[in-house]
């Protein structure tokens, strides 16, 4: 079961890592001139395929801005840039401004790792209309994701069983079953996607970004990274500091943490968000329907999860709501304050024996569509993290760490501790304990931390600023709720971001928005 920290895409859900010694020898430009000079054939975008999450072709924007898609060739193995290539799927919408005002392309990565940028950008694009006055908005499916050589592991029926399993084992038999299921999943990834698995590290995607910059015709990379996208941006800045243009990191991953530290930090972050949710509910003018006090709200949730561990309830026929899926559904709702009302309603229904809303929220977390098809966000997420993360944990490691995780959250602690087993028996070795994002000589990077962020806790922003180095990271604090800050539509946050990306105005470091 993947860690919630690893599912930090825009649709979900932040920590991939790598070894700086692997970065030696990388110059500013791709080595293969044919690839840097390739012409992209931009055409109307097809409907998303199953790996991207399905659905319909993106609709034109209100000003009739048409979405265009293209496939960019990149080396399968960046250590052999003249060898086999793979196709990376790109999407763009052109700027609304005059050509003489155009700065270039603004490339987005919405996180995950494993989230499809080709589907995410159209979903959120109306919120970036002001940025479009001077940029073409561009996003992409990173290697291993969506239409870009997707990692495929188990089929839809197997994934249904995978997500229903007991991810918080209580005895030896349940521990053995969890380990066996994890190995079965990982073996399926090797069987179905063995060719791409060694080549989905964050360093590989950072090099893809640099190739993309060149192919799009930009001297500098102008970049908006969200969640895991901040880590990708930090790695890019480390590799290519002289090529960083105007860049924003929102919902920032702590680059100093190994998987255990990252999961523990997120355990605290989700508990903090749950505390805020409970306090908000009981502070409403009308009576909170799921508890008389904030503590009562949390106690009732804990009892529900304990009951579901023994006796799942009906969910979306024919599936039941299990303890694991209820935990996932609750976590999904905590990603945005806009979802809190659905969490309240879902809990009300679950207390009456109806698990449909919480299961729907869990499906959103896990990438399951209404027709029962799964996107490849979970396989890609695990593949990227396991290729990046050097540590491997066993059941004895988890059992030693459980008391600390439980102290951080009696609701999320067990789930996130046991999720550390995801990379056990993974066929590709991990690169490092944490990424090198030091970027001396880079242009300023605006780094935004949200004090109420559950998935990428606020403390990560300060750590990113420190690691980027003196004169590079510019810290901005948003005192809000949910995952990320710009999409909250807070005028102060958006004003600072727009001012930098559009006009090059760097806000004072330490700026606080409320």
Predicted local distance difference test score (pLDDT) of residue 33: 55
Helix (H) or strand (E) holding 314: strand 313-314
Residue 25: band (very low, low, confident or very high) from pLDDT cuts 50, 70, 90: very low
Whether residue 365 has pLDDT greater than 60: yes
User: Is 4 or 189 the better-scoring residue by pLDDT?
Assistant: 189
249 strand-pairing partners: 225, 447
Q: Which of 25-29, 308-312, 398-402 has the lowest mean pLDDT?
A: 25-29
Rounded to an integer, what distance in angstroms lies between the CA atom of residue 382 and that of residue 400?
A: 23
Q: Which helix (H) or strand (E) holds 225?
A: strand 221-226
| Average of per-residue pLDDT values in the chain | 93
Among 52, 415, 439, which residue's Cα sits nearest to residue 221? 439
| Residue range 319-344, pLDDT digits in tens | 999 999 999 999 999 999 999 999 99
Is residue 238 annotated as a catalytic residue, yes or no?
no
Residues 414-446 have pLDDT tens digits of 999 999 999 999 999 999 999 999 999 999 999
CB-based contacts of 55, cutoff 8 Å, min separation 6: 47, 48, 119, 369
Residues 3, 483, 487, 498: which is the catalytic one? Answer: 483
Token reading at 461: 């922003």
Determine the average pLDDT of the residues in 93-122. Answer: 97
Cβ neighbour number for residue 465 with a 10 Å cutoff? 22
| Helix axis angle, 323-333 to 156-164, nearest 10° | 90
Catalytic residue, from 453, 487, 488, 498: name it. 453
Q: Is the pTM of the predicted complex or chain greater than 0.75?
A: yes
Active site residue 227: yes
Question: Among candidates 100, 121, 113, which has minimal Cα distance to 151?
Answer: 113
Q: Which residues of 139-154 are buried (b: 16+ CB within 10 A; e: fewer)?
A: bbbbbbbbbbbbbbbb
Residue in 30, 47, 28 with CA at minimum distance from that of residue 82: 30
Catalytic residue, from 15, 105, 148, 227: name it.
227
Asked if 162 and 184 touch (Cβ cutoff 8 Å), the reply is: no
List the beta strands (DSSP E) in 49-132: 68-75, 85-93, 104-109
Mean pLDDT, residues 83-106? 97
Q: Phi, psi (5° rounding) for residue 246?
A: -90, 120
Please give the DSSP secondary-structure letter assigned to residue 443. P
pLDDT of 32 strictly over 80: no
Kindly list the strands in the beta sheet with 244-250, ordered across the sheet, starting from the edge strand earlier in the chain: 43-44, 68-75, 85-93, 135-140, 104-109, 221-226, 244-250, 445-452, 473-481, 511-513
Q: What does the pLDDT read at residue 508?
A: 96
Question: For residue 104, what pLDDT is reported?
Answer: 98
Q: What is the mean pLDDT of residues 197-213?
A: 98
Q: How far apart are CA 88 and CA 208, in angstroms?
A: 9
């Amino acid at each position: 079961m993947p860690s919630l920290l690893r599912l930090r895409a825009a649709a979900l859900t932040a920590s991939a890592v790598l070894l700086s010694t692997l970065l030696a020898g990388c110059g500013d430009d791709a080595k293969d001139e044919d690839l840097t000079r390739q012409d992209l054939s931009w055409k109307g975008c097809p409907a998303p395929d199953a790996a991207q999450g399905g659905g319909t072709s993106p609709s034109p924007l209100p000003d009739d801005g048409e979405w265009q898609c293209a496939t960019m060739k990149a080396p399968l193995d960046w250590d052999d840039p003249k060898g086999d290539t793979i196709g990376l799927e790109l999407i763009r919408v052109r700027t609304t401004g005059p050509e003489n005002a155009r700065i270039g392309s603004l490339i987005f990565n919405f996180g995950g790792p494993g989230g499809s940028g080709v589907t995410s950008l159209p979903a959120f694009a109306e919120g970036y209309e002001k940025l479009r006055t001077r940029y073409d908005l561009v996003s992409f499916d990173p290697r291993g994701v969506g239409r870009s050589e997707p990692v495929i592991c188990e089929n839809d029926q197997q994934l249904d069983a995978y997500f229903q399993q007991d991810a918080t084992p209580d005895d030896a038999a349940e521990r053995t079953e969890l380990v066996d299921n994890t190995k079965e999943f990982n073996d399926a990834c090797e069987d179905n996607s063995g060719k791409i698995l060694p080549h989905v590290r964050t360093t590989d995607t950072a090099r893809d970004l640099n190739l993309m910059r060149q192919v799009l015709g930009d001297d500098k990379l102008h970049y908006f990274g969200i969640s895991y996208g901040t880590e990708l941006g930090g790695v890019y800045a480390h590799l290519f500091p002289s090529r960083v243009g105007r860049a924003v990191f929102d919902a920032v991953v702590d680059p100093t943490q190994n998987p255990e530290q990252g999961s523990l930090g997120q355990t605290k972050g989700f508990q903090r968000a749950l505390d805020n949710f409970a306090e908000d509910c009981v502070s409403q003018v009308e009576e909170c329907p799921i508890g008389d006090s904030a503590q009562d709200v949390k106690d009732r949730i804990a009892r529900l999860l304990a009951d579901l561990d023994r006796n799942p309830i009906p969910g979306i026929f024919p599936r039941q709501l299990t303890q694991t899926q209820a935990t996932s559904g609750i976590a999904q709702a905590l990603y945005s304050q806009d979802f809190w009302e659905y969490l309240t309603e879902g809990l009300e229904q679950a207390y009456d024996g109806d698990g449909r809303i919480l299961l729907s929220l869990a499906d959103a977390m896990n990438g399951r569509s209404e027709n029962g098809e799964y996107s490849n966000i979970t396989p890609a997420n695990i593949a990227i993290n396991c290729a990046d993360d050097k540590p491997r944990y066993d059941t004895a490691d988890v059992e030693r760490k459980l008391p600390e995780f439980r102290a951080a959250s009696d609701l999320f602690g067990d789930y996130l501790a046991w999720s550390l087993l995801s990379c056990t028996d993974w066929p590709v070795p991990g690169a490092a304990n944490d990424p090198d994002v030091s970027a001396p000589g880079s242009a300023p990077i605006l780094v935004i931390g949200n004090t109420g962020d559950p998935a990428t806790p606020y403390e990560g922003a300060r750590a990113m600023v420190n690691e980027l180095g003196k004169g590079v990271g510019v810290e901005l604090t948003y005192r809000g709720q949910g995952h990320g800050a710009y999409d909250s539509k807070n005028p102060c946050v958006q004003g600072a971001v727009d001012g930098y990306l559009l006009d090059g105005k760097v806000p004072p470091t330490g700026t606080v928005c409320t």
